[in-house]
Amino acid sequence: MQRRLIIAIDGPAAGGKGTIALRLAERLGYVYVDTGAMYRAVAWEALRRRISLEDESALQALAESLDITFRREEQDGHVRYRVWVDGEDVSEAIRRPEVDHASSVVAQYPGVRAALVEKQRALAREGGVVMEGRDISTVVLPHADVKLFITASLAERARRRYEQRRQAGVATTLAEVQAELAERDRRDSQRRAAPMRIPEDAIVVDTTGLDVDTSLHLVWRLVRPHLTSEDGVQAQV
């Protein structure tokens, strides 16, 4: 039986996978799931409740207890997904610079990961989903129909994140942002639980020097051959 696809997108911080995954999902009429936002939500709640980032069992209990939901919102032709935790909109809070660091710390703990992976799999059960993160192809959805690893050079990723920070009014420098990204890459790829790595069966898309439209075009060419009749008119585009 044909069904709508499961598309897994992994890659390092600020590599462009978020924007591409969202736009791909919109084009297909699929659900978009940002798993990084879930780790960020746990980290943010931990900071807020003053739970130590070293207290693995308290963090696991927190991850298990939180009700994390995504809500698609359309405004002036722009689509974004807002993140709600226990009935509160935390979309802005989870993007704070301190949460960058805290999220990659809580993401090291197997118990935290297990709790979130269960929620992530439930979101993909029906298919018709584009899910992005660090371990989607390798751990969360190993049977995904399409597996992509989207990356860019560290310098370019730092420039993009720096620009986002600047626009958000955060005082920082390019060198600082680059050092933070390098540190997070290191922690994400060297941790024992589900380290970030390029999956053997994934296609690597390097967006260094490419704008979003060009990157999306590349990704679309990779995804299109997999579309089924269930994807209806979208597949013909």
Binding site for ligand CDP (CB under 6 A): 13-14, 18, 35-37, 39-40, 100, 103-104, 107, 133-136, 184, 188
Instruction: Give min distance, CB of 14 to ligand CDP, in A.
Output: 5
The two three-digit tokens of residue 140, written as one number: 């969360």
Query: CB of 97: closest distance to ligand CDP in angstroms?
Result: 10
Cβ 104 to ligand CDP shortest distance, Å: 3
Q: Which is nearer to ligand CDP, 4 or 40 (CB)?
A: 40
Reduced 3-state DSSP string for the chain: CCCCCEEEEECCCCCCHHHHHHHHHHHHCCEEEEHHHHHHHHHHHHHHCCCCCCCHHHHHHHHHHCCEEEEEEEECCEEEEEEEECCEECCCHHHCHHHHHHHHHHCCCHHHHHHHHHHHHHHHCCCCEEEEECCHHHHHCCCCCEEEEEECCHHHHHHHHHHHHHHCCCCCCHHHHHHHHHHHHHHHHHCCCCCCCCCCCCEEEECCCCCHHHHHHHHHHHHHHHCCHHHHHHHHC
Q: Please, which residue, 18 or 199, has the CB nearer to ligand CDP?
A: 18
- The residue among 4 and 108 lying less far from ligand CDP, judged by its C-beta, is 108
In degrees, rounded to 5, the angle at the alpha carbon of residue 24 between the alpha carbons of residues 216 and 198 is 70
Closest distance to ligand CDP from the beta carbon of 13 (Å): 4
Supply the minimum distance, in Å, between the C-beta of residue 118 and ligand CDP: 13
The residue (of 139 and 223) whose beta carbon lies closer to ligand CDP is 139
Shortest distance, position 117 Cβ to ligand CDP, whole Å: 8
* Nearer to ligand CDP (CB atom), residue 84 or residue 224: 84
Please say which residue, 28 or 38, places its beta carbon nearer to ligand CDP: 38
